[in-house]
Chains A and B, each alone.
Chain A
C-alpha cells in the first residue's frame, strides 16, 4: 500500500492504534486516568485524521470514504468521545474501569468500518467487530445480575441475527455475483426476474433490523438498555444504531434504484409497527432506561419512514434525524449517568421526583432532551421530525405519516410524564446523589446548547446533511426510487 492509501484509511489506523496503546498500558500498569486519556486522545486524533486524510480513495473495493461516510464517521467519533467522557466519571466509582476504554475504541472502529463499508465483506466485519465489543461492554460491570443477563441475551440474539444476515448476503451474492454495494443496483436491473434476491435482501433486513431494534426484532432493547451500564447504553443507542443506519441507507440507495415494491410493503409494515409499538410500550414505563429503550424503537421507526421516502431529500432528512437523535439521547443518558451512584444506575422514575428543585442544571438538561425527543419546536428534535415529515409528504407516504403523527402524539404522554415527575415536589428524604464530575458537566452543557442551537439555527446542519446526501447520489446516479423519480430539492 502506498503512503497515500495509508493516509486515506488513517482514521481506522488511529483507532486501532489507540486501542492497542490502551491495552498495552493496562498490561504494564493499571491506571484509569491513562486508559481514559488514551481513549479520548485516540478519538480526537481519529477525528483530526478524518479531515487530514487527503483526497485519495481507500484502497480496494472494501471501503468507501465519501462525504456521506465522513459525516457519519464524525457523528460516530463525537458520540464515542461523549461516551468516553461520561464513562470516565462513571467508572471512577467502580472496579476495574480500564478495559472499558479498549472495548469502546474497538466498538468505534467497528462502527466506522460499518459506515465506510462499500462491500458485503467489510459490512460483516464491521458489524461483528462492533457486536463482539458490545457483548462485553453490556456485561461490563458484572455486579448486578441484570448486567450479565442483558449481555447473554444480546449475545445470543445478535449471533442469531448475524447468521441470518450472512445467509441473506449469500443469497444476494449467489444471484447477483457481486458483493460491491454500488454494483448491486445495475446487476439487479439486469437480473430482474431472479427471485432469490428478494428473500436475500429480506433476510439481511433481519440482521439490520436487529441492530436498529425495529419491530419484530426489538424485544432485547429494554432488557439490554436497563442492564448495561449507563454510558454503554448511550453507546448502544447512538454509535451502534447510527452506524447501522448509515449502512442501511447506503444499501437501500444502491438497491432502491431498481426497487422492489414487495420489499417496500414489508419495510412499511416494519416502520409502522415500530413507531406504534415503541411508543405504546413506553407509555406507563416506570424505569427511565427502559422508557428510553422503547422510545428508541419508535425513533428508529421514524428514521425508517424517512429512508422509505427515497431521494436525496429523504437521505438528508435521515442524516438530520440521526444527528438530532444523537445529541438528544446522549444528553438524556448523560443525565442518567451522572445521577447514578455506585450501587446501581439511577433509572427508577421515583428517583427523578423533584429533580428540578434538587439538581436544577442536570434536570434542565434532561427536560430539554425529553422535549427534543417529543419534537417540541426550538429543539433539535422538532427540526428533525419536521425534516422526516417533509420528506414523507414529498413522496406521498400518507399512511406512514398518519401513523407517525398518531404515535408521536402518544409519545408526548410519556415524555411529559417524566417532566411532570421532575417538577413535582421533592421527596423529603431523597438519596444523596454523587457530585457531577466537571468534565461531564461541561459535556452536558455543550449537548444542551447544541440541542437548542440546532432547533433555532438549523441551517448548517441542513447544509451538512445535504452534502452527505448528494455525495451518495453522485456515486450511483440512476436515481429512480420505487416511488417515482426523486425530486432534487435544491438546484
Chain B
C-alpha cells in the first residue's frame, strides 16, 4: 500500500507533464488547468495520506523504501531508481506538493488567456516531479537526476516568455550559474563513490562514519563539493547572482522557485547528508558563515530595490542564508522547520505581489505603487500577514517561532556563538526593515497608479489558505519558554538528530525578547524612513546615493563577476580565436571530410566496382585467414 502511494507521489505530476507535454496544444484551457493542477493536487492528497499513516505508526516504523529498478548493472556501479520516504522526505514532499498545488491553482487564474498554457503547466508539473524525485530519491544518482531536472525546468520556466530576449538571458544565467554548483556536486558524488563504493544515501552515511574519522580528507572534500552544489541551487554566496534575474519568469514560477522547489534543494541536500557533513566540522563552519554573510548582504540589498519582485528575491536569498546558518550550527530540524514556514509565507508574498502586479498591468516598480490598501484589500491583508511572518512578528506569526529557534541555536549550540547569534539578530532587524518598506511603499501613502483588475476567486483561495498557514504554521514547534511542544522536531527525529543547543530557559527568554525587539524596531525604522519622510527619488534616507547604489546592485557582484570572470574570459577567447590548438581539431575535421570524399568516390553506382570490391575483399580475408 505504502509503496504504491509513494510511487504515485512521483508518478502523478510526471504523468501530468507527459500528458500536457504531448497533448497540451490540443486540449482546451480548462482541461489543461484540471490536469495541471489536479495532478499536483492528487499528489498532495497522497502525501497527506502518507502523513496520516506515518503518524499512526511508531516512530521507528516511519520509513518506506522502494527500489523501482536498476538502470544499468555494471560491476561496481548500480545506478538504482529507488525511493525512500522517511519523515524528512515526507515533510519536503508535503511542502513541494502542498504549496506547489496552491501555486498551480493560482496559476490557473494568473495565466488565463496567456499563450502556451499547456506548455506552462507541463513545465510546472515537470518542476514539481523533478523536485519530488530529488527529495524522495534513495540513491544519490537518482537524486542527481531530480537535481538536474529541477535545473532544466527552472531554465524553461524562467524563459517562459521567450520572445523577449531579456528573459532568455535570465534563464541562461540561472542555468549556467547553478551549473557551476552542479558540476562541483557531480565531482563530489565521484569522490563519494570512489571512497565508499556506493551512492545509496543511507549506505553512504553508514560507510562514511565507519571509514572516515572526523576531519578526514575525503570527507572534507566530498562535503565541500556537495556544499558548493547546494550553494548554487540555493543561491548562496558566491553563486547567488542568478536569483534576482530569475524574476523574469511569470510570478507563479517565481513563487514555485522560491517557496516549494529549487532553492530549498540545497538546504535539503545538506540536511539529508548531515552524517557526512558532521565528519567535516570545518565545512559546517563554512556553511554557517556563508549562510550568515549571505543573510546580511542579501537583506541589506533588499532595502534598496525598486522592483517588488527583486525585494522578494533578495529576501529569499537572505532567508535561505538563515537556513544555512542553522545547518552550519547543527540545528538540522530548525533549518527544515524554517524551510517549511518560509515556503508558506514566501509563496504568499509572491502570490499577493502577483495580484498587485496583475492589477497594475505588469507594473513592478514600488515607487509607482502606493495606497493600494483600499483598492486591493485582499492583496494588502495577505501580503501584510506574510510580511509579518517574514519579519517574525512576535507570538502571532509562524515566522517568529521558526526564526527564533534558529537564532537560539546559532547563539547557544556548541558550533554557534555570540557572533553568529548577533549576526542573526541583526539579520532579523534588516528583514523587518525591508519588509516594512515594501508594505509601506506599495500599500500606504498616496495612490500613484490605478488598479485595473481585481483578483478572482481562483486567485483568492490559495492566498487565504497560505495566509492561515503563515500565521498558525509555527504552532507545530513550541519552544521551551512557550509551552514546550516541539512536535515537529520529534517527528523529524528518525531522520535528523536532535539539536545540540543547551542553555537556560531564562537566556532563551532574553534572546526571544531581543529578537522581538529587533523585529519591531525594524518596522519602526521603516515607518520613520519611508512613510514619514517619503521622498520622491529612490535614494535611501541617511546613507546617500553611493551606498544606495551599492545596495541596489546587490553589492555589485554582477559587476564584479563581469569584470573578473566574464570579460577576461571573452577577451581571452577573442584574443585566442585563432588558437593553435584549434588547428588540431580543424585538421581532424578536414581529415574526416577528406576521407569521406575519398570513400564516396568508391560508391560509383557501377555494379562492376561493387562486385570487384566483394571479390577482392573475399580474397584478402581468405588470405589473412590462411597466411597467419
Cα distance, A156 to B611, chains bound together (Å):
9
Residue interface mask A451-478, B partner, CB < 8 A = 1: 0000011110010000000000000000
Size class of the contact patch on chain A: 35 or more
In A405-464, which residues have CB < 8 Å from any B CB?
410, 456-459, 462
Residues B610 and A153 in contact, CB atoms below 8 Å apart: yes
Cα distance, A462 to B610, chains bound together (Å):
38
When the two chains form the complex, which single residue of B69, B592, B607 contacts A459, counting CB atoms closer than 8 Å?
B69
User: Which of the segments B275-283, B297-305, B385-393, B597-605 contacts the partner chain?
Assistant: B597-605
When the two chains form the complex, which single residue of B69, B614, B621 contacts A157, counting CB atoms closer than 8 Å?
B614
Cα distance, A101 to B370, chains bound together (Å):
77
Which residues of A are interface residues toward B (Cβ below 8 A)? 152-153, 156-157, 160-161, 164, 195, 198-199, 201-203, 205-206, 209-210, 215-217, 219-220, 222-223, 260-263, 265-266, 269-270, 277, 280-281, 283-284, 383, 386, 390, 410, 456-459, 462
Contacting residues, chain B, for A459 (C-beta < 8 A): 69-70
Residues A206 and B596 in contact, CB atoms below 8 Å apart: no
Which 8 A-B pairs give the minimum distances between C-beta atoms?
A216-B617, A262-B628, A219-B610, A202-B625, A283-B596, A202-B622, A266-B624, A206-B618
Given contacts A215-B617, A277-B599, 18 further A-B contacts (CB under 8 A): A153-B610, A156-B611, A201-B625, A202-B621, A202-B624, A202-B626, A206-B618, A209-B617, A210-B614, A216-B617, A260-B625, A262-B625, A262-B627, A262-B628, A280-B595, A280-B596, A281-B596, A281-B600
Q: Which residue of A lies closest to B604 (CB)?
A: A219
When the two chains form the complex, which single residue of B69, B74, B593, B611 contacts A283, counting CB atoms closer than 8 Å?
B593
When the two chains form the complex, which single residue of A153, A195, A216, A262 contacts B616, counting CB atoms closer than 8 Å?
A216
When the two chains form the complex, which single residue of B74, B600, B614 contacts A217, counting CB atoms closer than 8 Å?
B614
Cα distance, A223 to B592, chains bound together (Å):
23
Residues B625 and A263 in contact, CB atoms below 8 Å apart: yes
Residue interface mask B67-90, A partner, CB < 8 A = 1: 001111110000000000000000
Q: Does B576 contact A (CB under 8 A)?
A: no
Q: Does B609 contact A (CB under 8 A)?
A: yes
Contacting residues, chain A, for B621 (C-beta < 8 A): 202, 205-206, 266, 270
Residues A222 and B603 in contact, CB atoms below 8 Å apart: yes
When the two chains form the complex, which single residue of A164, A220, A260 contacts B618, counting CB atoms closer than 8 Å?
A164
Contacting residues, chain A, for B611 (C-beta < 8 A): 156-157, 160
Cα distance, A400 to B23, chains bound together (Å):
44
Interface size on B, residues (CB 8 A): 32
Residues B603 and A281 in contact, CB atoms below 8 Å apart: yes
Distance between B605 CB and nearest chain A CB, rounded to angstroms: 6
Q: Which residue of A lies closest to B595 (CB)?
A: A280
Contacting residues, chain B, for A216 (C-beta < 8 A): 613-614, 616-617, 620
Contacting residues, chain A, for B592 (C-beta < 8 A): 280, 283, 410
Q: Which residue of A lies closest to B69 (CB)?
A: A459
Distance between A385 CB and nearest chain B CB, rounded to angstroms: 12
Cα distance, A377 to B442, chains bound together (Å):
50
Contacting residues, chain B, for A390 (C-beta < 8 A): 74
Residues B607 and A206 in contact, CB atoms below 8 Å apart: no
Residues B610 and A262 in contact, CB atoms below 8 Å apart: no
When the two chains form the complex, which single residue of B72, B602, B609 contacts A386, counting CB atoms closer than 8 Å?
B72
Residues B614 and A265 in contact, CB atoms below 8 Å apart: no
Cα distance, A153 to B613, chains bound together (Å):
14
In the complex, 9 of the A-B residue pairs with CB atoms within 8 angstroms, ordered by the A residue number, are: A157-B607, A195-B626, A198-B625, A216-B617, A217-B614, A219-B613, A220-B610, A383-B72, A386-B72
Distance between A376 CB and nearest chain B CB, rounded to angstroms: 15
Supposing A206-B614, A206-B617 touch, asked if A199 and B596 sit within 8 A by C-beta, the answer is no
Contacting residues, chain A, for B610 (C-beta < 8 A): 153, 157, 219-220
Contacting residues, chain B, for A153 (C-beta < 8 A): 607, 610
Residue interface mask B576-603, A partner, CB < 8 A = 1: 0000000000000000110110011011
Distance between B150 CB and nearest chain A CB, rounded to angstroms: 17
In B394-451, which residues have CB < 8 Å from any A CB?
none
Distance between A468 CB and nearest chain B CB, rounded to angstroms: 17
Cα distance, A203 to B619, chains bound together (Å):
9
Residues A261 and B72 in contact, CB atoms below 8 Å apart: no
Distance between A212 CB and nearest chain B CB, rounded to angstroms: 13
Cα distance, A51 to B168, chains bound together (Å):
55
Contacting residues, chain A, for B616 (C-beta < 8 A): 216
Q: Which residue of A lies closest to B594 (CB)?
A: A280
Residues B618 and A265 in contact, CB atoms below 8 Å apart: no
When the two chains form the complex, which single residue of A156, A198, A215, A280 contacts B626, counting CB atoms closer than 8 Å?
A198
Cα distance, A260 to B616, chains bound together (Å):
22
Cα distance, A291 to B71, chains bound together (Å):
31
Contacting residues, chain B, for A263 (C-beta < 8 A): 625
Distance between B266 CB and nearest chain A CB, rounded to angstroms: 25
Q: Which residue of A lies closest to B602 (CB)?
A: A219
Contacting residues, chain B, for A462 (C-beta < 8 A): 73
Residues B71 and A458 in contact, CB atoms below 8 Å apart: yes
Q: Which residue of B lies closest to A206 (CB)?
A: B618
Supposing A160-B611, A280-B596, A281-B596 touch, asked if A199 and B603 sit within 8 A by C-beta, the answer is no
Contacting residues, chain B, for A157 (C-beta < 8 A): 607, 610-611, 614
Contacting residues, chain A, for B609 (C-beta < 8 A): 219
Supposing A156-B611, A160-B611, A199-B626 touch, asked if A219 and B603 sit within 8 A by C-beta, the answer is yes
Distance between A169 CB and nearest chain B CB, rounded to angstroms: 14
Residues A199 and B72 in contact, CB atoms below 8 Å apart: no
Distance between A73 CB and nearest chain B CB, rounded to angstroms: 27
Cα distance, A220 to B620, chains bound together (Å):
19
Contacting residues, chain A, for B618 (C-beta < 8 A): 164, 202-203, 206
Cα distance, A263 to B610, chains bound together (Å):
23
Distance between B313 CB and nearest chain A CB, rounded to angstroms: 33
When the two chains form the complex, which single residue of A209, A217, A281 contacts B599, counting CB atoms closer than 8 Å?
A281
In B253-285, which residues have CB < 8 Å from any A CB?
none
Cα distance, A220 to B614, chains bound together (Å):
10
Q: Which residue of A lies closest to B600 (CB)?
A: A281
Residues B625 and A266 in contact, CB atoms below 8 Å apart: yes
Contacting residues, chain B, for A277 (C-beta < 8 A): 599
Q: Which residue of A lies closest to B72 (CB)?
A: A386
Cα distance, A390 to B74, chains bound together (Å):
8
Cα distance, A270 to B622, chains bound together (Å):
12
Contacting residues, chain B, for A265 (C-beta < 8 A): 624, 628
Cα distance, A140 to B592, chains bound together (Å):
37
Residues A261 and B628 in contact, CB atoms below 8 Å apart: yes
Cα distance, A310 to B625, chains bound together (Å):
19
Cα distance, A262 to B628, chains bound together (Å):
6
Contacting residues, chain B, for A457 (C-beta < 8 A): 69
Q: Which residue of A lies closest to B610 (CB)?
A: A219
In B144-195, which residues have CB < 8 Å from any A CB?
none
Contacting residues, chain B, for A458 (C-beta < 8 A): 71-72
Distance between B119 CB and nearest chain A CB, rounded to angstroms: 13
Supposing A206-B618, A386-B72 touch, asked if A284 and B624 sit within 8 A by C-beta, the answer is no
Contacting residues, chain B, for A410 (C-beta < 8 A): 592
Distance between B544 CB and nearest chain A CB, rounded to angstroms: 53
Distance between B624 CB and nearest chain A CB, rounded to angstroms: 5
Distance between B149 CB and nearest chain A CB, rounded to angstroms: 12
Supposing A260-B625, A266-B621 touch, asked if A280 and B614 sit within 8 A by C-beta, the answer is no
Supposing A219-B609, A262-B624, A458-B71 touch, asked if A284 and B596 sit within 8 A by C-beta, the answer is yes
Distance between A330 CB and nearest chain B CB, rounded to angstroms: 21
